[in-house]
Amino acid sequence: MVELASKLAARELSLSAAELVDRWKERRRFQRKPVLLAATLETRQGTLQCITLDLSLGGARIQLHEKLEPLDQVTLALEKFGHFPGHFVWRNVSEAGLQFTDTPEEIALRFGPEFLTE
């Protein structure tokens, strides 16, 4: 525990636990919606199969096993919603985060109002 505390900024050491939790809360711009949708990923290397784990107006979290690098340009194709160009912003062993390049307004039109309110 001493190592963790030593990594915190000095001003954060004086905060209560509740204040720390609030400060470290997820600060995503768009709310994620958990989904489980088969999808294809169009890449420079060809078309890959993947599973979409969550969606937002800003991007998606997908599961795939092929190695792609951050900033690789791709297009996520979802049968129900259409094609979403974007690029990878993070990657681990089996999942990747995709940031859409279309505007949130364009994405919202493709998802439809029922998707955003469910």
Domain boundaries, the chain: 33-117
Selection from 75, 72, 68, 70 nearest residue 94 by Cα: 68
Q: Residue 99: what pLDDT?
A: 95
Q: Residue 67: what pLDDT?
A: 79
For the beta carbon of residue 72, count every other beta carbon within 10 angstroms: 17
**85 close to 46: Cβ distance less than 8 angstroms:** no
Residue identified by tokens 């979403």 is 84
Render each residue's pLDDT in the chain as its tens digit; 118 residues: 333 444 444 444 555 655 655 554 455 577 889 999 999 999 988 999 999 999 999 999 999 988 777 778 999 999 989 999 999 999 888 999 999 999 999 999 998 876 665 5
Q: Residue 71: what pLDDT?
A: 74
31-62 burial code (b ≥16 CB/10 A, e <16): ebeebebebebebeeeebebebbbbbbbbbbb
Q: What's the CATH number of domain 33-117, 1.20.1260.10, 2.40.10.220, 3.10.129.10, 3.40.50.300?
A: 2.40.10.220
Q: Residue 19: what pLDDT?
A: 61
CA distance 42 to 66: 12
The model carries a pTM of 0.72
CA distance 73 to 22: 34
Q: Residue 27: what pLDDT?
A: 55
Q: Residue 53: what pLDDT?
A: 97
